[in-house]
Amino acid sequence: MDGVTVTGVRGRARIVARADGRGGTALPVLDGEGPLAPRRTRSTGPGAKVMVVGAMSGPLGGDRFTLSARLEEGARLHVGSAAATLALPGQTKDAARYDVRLDVADGAELHWLPEQLIAAEGSDLYVTTRAELADGARLVLREEQVLGRTGEQPGRLTSRLTVRIAGRTVLDQELACGPGAPGGWDGPAVLAGYRAVGQLVVVRPRFARSPVPAQVLGEGAALVPLAGPAVLVSAVAPDALRLRRLLDEASARLD
């Protein structure tokens, strides 16, 4: 419409987890605004469980989403999502942005296991995940990205993952895929023609004493130790189902 400036949606969600002194975990902060709605669900263990519900479609072009979780000493938290995140084209040509910030204190444990992020045709999304861990913190973090829905071309997706332990960066990587991405993203050195890519980061203090050796985990997946008590599993697959299977098998090996 002439004379009207189209801007994207702004959405934020915050989670704070704290040991309750009785062997469980309390959530003194659990709030969201706009399209992000974190909800506590039943947990079978001593930790708390939260599902992030998308209250509307997106992110669309121009949207800005921020999701943060902070675990205090001794807290245990499992965070998932109710459905896959679908990046779609919007009314503006601006890229969408989705920022995740995780802060895990000494003795706390976070399982960050959202569903897949799907870059639909025509979308443009820049997603960043930054995890700050204290010495003695534990983390299981899974990222899964799918380039395009069935039968369509992928959207543009840029993903940056950073993990810091005790103030030291142990992982800082960025992957750009889809139209306009640097050349070679679909070649044999990166995705090799596959359309699903994922990472699994596992941080355990015991890895400092007993490092996990680098190894190939079947077709399309590999494990490498990081410069700290952590390992990274990278995987590519033809579809989301196969990708999840590869990452679940890797996670089971590292338990």
pLDDT tens digits, one per residue of 183-205: 777 777 677 788 999 999 999 99
Mean pLDDT of the chain: 91
> Mapping DSSP to helix (H, G, I), strand (E, B) and coil, where does residue 234 land?
strand
Say whether 172 sits in a helix, a strand or coil. Answer: strand
Q: Is the pLDDT of residue 6 over 60?
A: no
Q: Which helix (H) or strand (E) holds 246?
A: helix 240-254
Confidence bin at 5 (pLDDT 50/70/90): very low
Asked if the model's pLDDT at residue 145 lies above 70, the reply is yes
**Torsion angle, alpha carbons of 184, 185, 191, 193, to 10:** -70
Question: How confident is the model over 129-142, as pLDDT tens digits?
Answer: 999 999 999 999 99
Q: What φ, ψ does residue 182 adopt, rounded to 5°?
A: -55, 145
pLDDT at 240: 94
207-229 burial string, b = 16+ CB within 10 Å, else e? Answer: beeeebeeeebeebbebebbebb
Closest to 131 measured CA to CA, from 170, 102, 105, 171: 102
| Distance in angstroms (rounded) separating the CA atoms of residues 225 and 223 | 7
User: 77 pLDDT exceeds 50?
Assistant: yes
User: Which pTM does this prediction carry?
Assistant: 0.92
Instruction: Tell me the pLDDT band of 247, cut-offs 50, 70 and 90.
Output: very high
Q: Return the residue matching tokens 């090996």.
A: 253
- Looking at residue 55, its pLDDT comes to 61
Beta bridge partner(s), residue 18:
26
Nearest to 124 by CA among 153, 158, 100: 158
> In this model, does residue 146 exceed pLDDT 60?
yes
The region that residue 207 occupies, defined by phi over 0 for left and psi between -120 and 50 for alpha, beta otherwise, is alpha
Tokens representing residue 40 in the block: 């506590």
**Cα 146–150–156 angle (5° rounding)?**
45
Q: What is the pLDDT of residue 2?
A: 45
Decide: residue 234, CB within 10 A, 0-12 exposed, 13-18 middle, 19+ buried: buried
